[in-house]
Amino acid sequence: MATFEVGINTLTDVTALSNIALDVRDMASNLKSGDLLVAQRIYTQGANSALYDVFGEETLDKLTLKSMGQAGSGQWMDDPSFTFQMLGLSSVQDSAAEAISKHSNYADYYISTLLNDQTTADNAAAAQATTILTVHINAIHKLWEGFIDCTMVQKGYNPEEDQTGKIDPKRKYDEFVALYVGAGQVLGPTWEGYLLYALAQAASKKFDTVDENGESLVNKEIRGYTNGYSESCRRRLLQTGRVNLRTLDDQQRIIAKMNLSMMQMLIDSMHNENHFYLVPIYARAIIPQLSQCRTSIQRKLKSYLLDKEYERDDFSRILPLLQQSYDCLGFSCEQVGAYSSDKVAECGDYTKNHPMAGFVPKVDVQTISKVDLDMHAIRQLLKFPTGDDNIIPQMYYKHGRAAVINEDKYAYDVQSLQEMARSSIVEQWSPYYSDYVSYHGQEFYADTVIMNEFKRNAGTDTQQDALLLSWMQLGVVTEYLMGLLGSADQMCEGSTDEDPTKWWDAFAATYIGSLEGIDLGGSDQTIDGFMLWNVANRRAVSFDTQNDDYYADINNEMLELLFAGQAQLLRNDCNNFAKTVSRALHLMVIPLIQSVIWYAIKNEGLIASSNDDGLVIGEVAAKSVLPIVNKFDPNAARIIERNMVRSDDNFVPVVDGPQAVANAFYLVLDEIGWGCDYVGHADGVEACQLESATGPRNNGSSKQGAVTILALLANTIFWGYSAWLS
């Protein structure tokens, strides 16, 4: 057991590891005094942190900062923070293997360069970099090692019987404390120390984010979370064999707080010309982590701060980009604070009326809008080999991250993609709920496919990645959106006391997502989004259905419906609101139809055994809309299945040609009340080809479609009342 003066007690003795702080101290002292060779020797050979063999005997070797800087080389693939670091440092065209080869030793490479640069010795930049780069990522890695060890215990592993100590969640969390606080850390008024606790103190002082005792708010909160581990993962896990999800949530929050300190120090180094030498160091610690955030912003910041030397004139362009990334990283403008009182003002935080692609919600939908961040993170993590059952991407799917790190903002019960996929009460209010269950032969079909695929370890199989992501994007989200619309209509009819606006705005947030930004039309970069809004914008380019502002006609129509629905709810006009629900529900189906046709075009000529991702995505797109097609036109459903759904080894992709697939949707489009003009045309394939044979269509205003959906909603509401009463 070890006791740290800052008020954290550990259950195991991690004194030796905490002494790595003394190596940082000694390196800095020797660099400042001009003893460069001594500093280099401390870095490469170690001085204060003892190593022990499996029998607990001290060895002749020391733990070194250099070895810690190389520790991630090909060994940390179950560490999402390290994966994001690799992705954020690499070029767009780099494969996972190339990223690891080039950047896994990024901390050691950069520090070794500094130690050979005489001009930086006076600033002890290399010693500071060991804390900022090496200790920081190693401390975070200890948290992820602890989580992985927790899952091993959950599976039945007994760490008490393991004499090697290889799997020991108690010790891993204690080692995090050792690296975060470090030996020699004292309390106020000086708060002197050498590792991350001291760094957070310095950052908080610059931004006036300290408590009444002068302690950094970051440190105060991390101390609270860390002391809670003995009551959560350690005790409960060892007693019950179950992972405590609160521990996982707290772990994500700790990492967010650590990144907050790095962000504060990056801003300080960019603004204070005496600290310009620290800009590339802090930038290497925090900017790569934005690879889990909005892609266009991360690439811009990389170009400003990593790909070239920082220029003070860029500060006004860089700061807003950083501020737009706070929420994704898990902290707010208020938590960052104002730099030096008035030099850099505190930015404005999210409010309940925070716009999304031009839509302004009336209730707080921030948490539910961020499910796209979890999908984006999963996409990034799947680029790298992972452990058994794809455990880290699976964790993001099952438990979420983006929503849970926002404490006190649980406006909705759903916090993860799996919770969306298995949200039976919400989904049962969808007018197509029973059709999806009937067609797929089970409830929660999408979740079953996803979980089975997670358990099929396929390395870096891109078809597996495509299947997982397309089922989340086109399957899970689509069915959940339908449930939200049905719920909003039900609430308007007065079956409960809940405000229907909550569900209507939740539909908007889930349709648009957080990655689109606030501007009308969403992001001008289609690499950013992940929800159906983004699917519609991408398909609009291919199908020539963009408006004059270069975003999808479908999305422009959806915005009008979203605002109309808000106004109808404000005046309690439930009859017209039901019609708006109908139109919104079926409008969101159009991007799915376009996707089926698009992949029919792309997949024509492929063989069934092809490893092209398009075969998988096209099949998932088809299965996401086939229950609706089958309801209105079973013959059309069979045509789509024959061309898009791989049934056996004799399957021939798009055997009837892409135009046959497009024609199969013709009657369905009439039934759902939207004309084929919204689908458009691509590569010579026309959604309206049959129009000349059947006569002009009543585009977008089919009375039959409106009557159909109103009847469906009425039946859904009746069924829902019965379910609640039974």
Helix (H, G, I), strand (E, B) or coil at 60: strand
pLDDT, average across residues 409-421: 73
Q: Clarify whether residues 259 and 403 are in a common domain.
A: no
Residue 477 counted as domain residue:
yes
Helix (H, G, I), strand (E, B) or coil at 553: helix
Residue 407 counted as domain residue:
yes
Closest CA to 246 of 332, 147, 364: 147
- Asked if the model's pLDDT at residue 160 lies above 80, the reply is no
pLDDT, average across residues 242-248: 63
Amino acid 608: pLDDT? 87
User: Which CA distances in Å does 401 have to 328, 435, 548, 555?
Assistant: 10, 31, 37, 28
**What confidence tens digit (pLDDT) does each residue in 552-570 have?**
999 999 999 999 999 999 9
**What confidence tens digit (pLDDT) does each residue in 22-32 have?**
999 999 999 99
Please name the residues in contact with 611: beta carbons below 8 A apart, sequence gap of 6 or more: 462, 463
Residue 260 counted as domain residue:
yes
Domain boundary among 274, 307, 341: 274
- Asked if the model's pLDDT at residue 577 lies above 60, the reply is yes
Q: Clarify whether residues 260 and 371 are in a common domain.
A: no
- Asked if the model's pLDDT at residue 713 lies above 50, the reply is no
**What confidence tens digit (pLDDT) does each residue in 377-410 have?**
999 999 887 767 788 999 999 988 887 766 555 4
Residues 42/20, Cβ–Cβ less than 8 Å: no
Token pair 């308007």 in the structure block, residue: 492
pLDDT, average across residues 471-486: 96
User: Which CA distances in Å does 614 have to 193, 467, 595?
Assistant: 54, 10, 10
Amino acid 385: pLDDT? 74
Q: How far apart are CA 474 and CA 495, in angstroms?
A: 30
- Asked if the model's pLDDT at residue 63 lies above 50, the reply is yes
Amino acid 5: pLDDT? 87
pLDDT, average across residues 635-658: 94
Q: Name the token pair of 635.
A: 């013959």
Amino acid 170: pLDDT? 84
- Asked if the model's pLDDT at residue 716 lies above 50, the reply is no
- Asked if the model's pLDDT at residue 699 lies above 50, the reply is no
- Asked if the model's pLDDT at residue 679 lies above 70, the reply is yes
Token pair 């046959």 in the structure block, residue: 660
Question: CA quadruple 600, 603, 605, 607: dihedral positive or negative?
Answer: negative
Going by pLDDT thresholds of 50, 70 and 90, the confidence category of residue 232 is low
Amino acid 705: pLDDT? 44
Domain boundary among 215, 247, 274: 274
Residues 441/555, Cβ–Cβ less than 8 Å: no
- Asked if the model's pLDDT at residue 366 lies above 90, the reply is no
Amino acid 43: pLDDT? 98
Residue 128 counted as domain residue:
yes
Going by pLDDT thresholds of 50, 70 and 90, the confidence category of residue 677 is confident
**What confidence tens digit (pLDDT) does each residue in 77-109 have?**
789 999 999 999 999 999 888 999 999 999 999
Amino acid 518: pLDDT? 92
Amino acid 347: pLDDT? 84
Residues 543/679, Cβ–Cβ less than 8 Å: yes
- Measured at the CA of 397, the angle between CA 324 and CA 506, to 5 degrees, comes to 60
Residues 582/432, Cβ–Cβ less than 8 Å: no
Q: Provide Rg for the chain, Cα atoms.
A: 28
Residues 487/458, Cβ–Cβ less than 8 Å: no
- Asked if the model's pLDDT at residue 157 lies above 80, the reply is no
Going by pLDDT thresholds of 50, 70 and 90, the confidence category of residue 635 is very high
pLDDT, average across residues 311-331: 95
Task: Answer with the residue of higher pLDDT: 673 or 580.
Answer: 580
pLDDT, average across residues 676-700: 75
Helix (H) or strand (E) holding 685: strand 685-686
Residues 200/218, Cβ–Cβ less than 8 Å: yes
Residue 182 counted as domain residue:
yes
Q: Clarify whether residues 33 and 143 are in a common domain.
A: yes
Q: Clarify whether residues 375 and 265 are in a common domain.
A: no
Q: Name the token pair of 724.
A: 């609640």
**What confidence tens digit (pLDDT) does each residue in 138-151 have?**
999 999 998 888 87
Kindly tell me the burial class for residue 365, based on how many C-beta atoms sit within 10 Å of its own C-beta (0-12, 13-18, 19 or more).
buried
- Asked if the model's pLDDT at residue 413 lies above 70, the reply is no
Average pLDDT of the chain, as a whole number: 88
Helix (H, G, I), strand (E, B) or coil at 191: coil
Q: Clarify whether residues 387 and 268 are in a common domain.
A: no
Q: Clarify whether residues 381 and 259 are in a common domain.
A: no
Lowest-confidence segment of 18-27, 29-38, 341-350 by average pLDDT:
341-350
- The proportion of the chain whose per-residue pLDDT surpasses 70, expressed as a percent, equals 87
For residue 629, what are the domain limits? 366-725
The phi and psi torsions of 51 (rounded to 5 degrees) equal -115, 150
The phi and psi torsions of 339 (rounded to 5 degrees) equal -80, 125
Task: Answer with the residue of higher pLDDT: 235 or 26.
Answer: 26
Residue 350 counted as domain residue:
no
pLDDT, average across residues 149-164: 71
Residue 412 counted as domain residue:
yes
Residue 293 counted as domain residue:
no
- Asked if the model's pLDDT at residue 241 lies above 50, the reply is no
Q: Clarify whether residues 264 and 370 are in a common domain.
A: no
Amino acid 165: pLDDT? 66
Q: Clarify whether residues 376 and 262 are in a common domain.
A: no
Residue positions counted in the chain: 726
Amino acid 245: pLDDT? 65
Going by pLDDT thresholds of 50, 70 and 90, the confidence category of residue 448 is very high
Token pair 């940082």 in the structure block, residue: 24
Q: Clarify whether residues 117 and 266 are in a common domain.
A: yes
- The proportion of the chain whose per-residue pLDDT surpasses 90, expressed as a percent, equals 69
Amino acid 352: pLDDT? 72
Q: How many domains does the chain have?
A: 2
Q: Clarify whether residues 267 and 375 are in a common domain.
A: no
**Is the whole-model pTM more than 0.85?**
yes
Amino acid 462: pLDDT? 76
Q: How far apart are CA 148 and CA 515, in angstroms?
A: 29
Domain boundary among 226, 258, 274: 274
**What confidence tens digit (pLDDT) does each residue in 519-537 have?**
999 999 989 999 999 999 9
- Asked if the model's pLDDT at residue 692 lies above 70, the reply is no
pLDDT, average across residues 8-18: 92
Kindly tell me the burial class for residue 52, based on how many C-beta atoms sit within 10 Å of its own C-beta (0-12, 13-18, 19 or more).
exposed
Amino acid 581: pLDDT? 97
Q: How far apart are CA 726 and CA 724, in angstroms?
A: 6
Q: Clarify whether residues 237 and 380 are in a common domain.
A: no
Amino acid 262: pLDDT? 98
Going by pLDDT thresholds of 50, 70 and 90, the confidence category of residue 435 is very high
Going by pLDDT thresholds of 50, 70 and 90, the confidence category of residue 230 is very low
Going by pLDDT thresholds of 50, 70 and 90, the confidence category of residue 722 is very low
Q: Clarify whether residues 270 and 370 are in a common domain.
A: no
Half-sphere exposure of 686 (CA within 13 A, CB side): 5
Going by pLDDT thresholds of 50, 70 and 90, the confidence category of residue 162 is low
